[in-house]
Amino acid sequence: MMPQAAETSRDAIVSVRDLQVGFQTTDGRAVVKAVDGVSFDVRRGETFGIIGESGSGKTTIGRALVFLLKPSDGAILHNGVDPLAMPRRQFQSHRRDYQIIFQDPNAALNPRMTILSSVLEPLELARAGSKAERLKRAHEAMDRVGLALDLGERYPHQLSGGQKQRVVIARALTLRPKLIVCDEVVAALDMSIRGDVLNLFAELQRDLGLTYVFITHDLAVVSHISERIAVMYLGRFVELGPTEKVSERPLHPYTKALLSAEPRPLPSTMRGDHRIVLQGEIPSPIDPPSGCRFRTRCQYAQGVCAEKTPDWRELMPDHWVACHFADRPNYSPT
Ligand SMILES: Nc1ncnc2c1ncn2[C@@H]1O[C@H](COP(=O)(O)OP(=O)(O)OP(=O)(O)O)[C@@H](O)[C@H]1O
Ligand code: SF4
Ligand SMILES: [Mg+2]
């Protein structure tokens, strides 16, 4: 069912309602339910983090948010409007406001184009302004991300990984987007420069009023930069709330396991007393477990967990969870 614009919160730049994205397997016999019923709002100006293991569906959500792929079902509204209902031309220009940046700058940059040509390219494709204006905007974007203008004459292989990712960020900025989906954007960078690039994202947000959806499997990254975190497991959200609530008082056993498995030093409040080791692999999204999808790896699973899908409920203000027993000590039935 298509939600009404009035149902979405007024400060939502993106509203996702019961999003489903499926992919046919190569033999065409089954559907991979990469995202299977996810609803959330991204608030204007915030950084919304999405965390989860490999294969949980994070990138698929990110690509759907900017309409790089089409939902199989459900709705994604931008500022309360469904972009898929726009005329084609309006849709093309609308999409420029919603950008995505991926992990690997080498895949995003053409090795045969100079840095300046790469930064200019989105402006040229959008036929934005005169040639002189495009050049001015490209230079502004390079300056914003801390790239010296003389790097414009170089080629990607002559730049460091961090510089290349700055070029990718500059390219996205030229079109003056409202929202950027950042998918593992520091994962391929040396530890030593990750902090610098994360700080750059924070600075750009402050100066340009950007909204980010920050996708990562690295808890340290997501908690450093996000106001709110969603925890994803096998195509669904299992928990969503303010970063400090989710990291200090996680409600879902999967979030607890992720926190306790975090190898980097974390504040004691974030580690918990007992280390919970996640057993086994994430099951296949082709045939997910019945009821609660986490039940095959959950140490608290009961009979009802196989029978009934846990409701998505707001257990505390702004803090959502999908677990039958999240409100009970030790996850036991009463
Ligand atoms: N184009 C595609 N065709 C078929 N299956 C796909 C496609 N894209 C993703 N999938 C499958 O959908 C599921 C979710 O993938 P996705 O890339 O969204 O996960 P992810 O959380 O981003 O993982 P990672 O942390 O490894 O990047 C996986 O099982 C993946 O194999
Ligand atoms: S619903 Fe059951 S299986 Fe799922 S997380 Fe809660 S206790 Fe574990
Ligand atoms: Mg991914």
With a 6 A CB cut-off, is 285 part of the ligand 1 pocket? yes
With a 6 A CB cut-off, is 32 part of the ligand 1 pocket? yes
Does residue 90 register a pLDDT over 80?
yes
22 CA from centroid of ligand 2 (Å)? 24
Q: Residues 109-126: what's their mean pLDDT? A: 96
Q: Residue 270: what pLDDT?
A: 46
Does residue 221 register a pLDDT over 80?
yes
Q: Residue 334: what pLDDT?
A: 77
User: Could you say which ligand is closest to the alpha carbon of residue 303?
Assistant: 2
**Where does the pLDDT of residue 10 fall: very low under 50, low under 70, confident under 90, or very high at 90 and above?**
low
**pTM for this predicted structure:** 0.92
Q: Residue 276: what pLDDT?
A: 52
121 CA from centroid of ligand 1 (Å)? 28
- CATH class assigned to 5-97+177-331: alpha beta
Higher-scoring residue by pLDDT: 9, 74: 74
Long-range own/partner contacts, residues 284-292 (CB < 8 A, 24 or more apart): 285/32, 285/33, 285/34, 285/36, 285/55, 285/57, 285/234, 285/235, 286/25, 286/30, 286/31, 286/32, 286/33, 287/30, 288/33, 288/36, 288/234, 288/235, 292/322, 292/323, 292/324
Q: Residue 3: what pLDDT?
A: 35
Q: Residues 167-190: what's their mean pLDDT? A: 95
Q: Average pLDDT over the chain, rounded to whole? A: 91
**Where does the pLDDT of residue 277 fall: very low under 50, low under 70, confident under 90, or very high at 90 and above?**
low
Test site for ligand 2: of 294, 299, 311, most ligand atoms within 8 A of the Cβ: 294
With a 6 A CB cut-off, is 283 part of the ligand 1 pocket? no
Q: Residue 233: what pLDDT?
A: 96
Q: Residue 263: what pLDDT?
A: 55
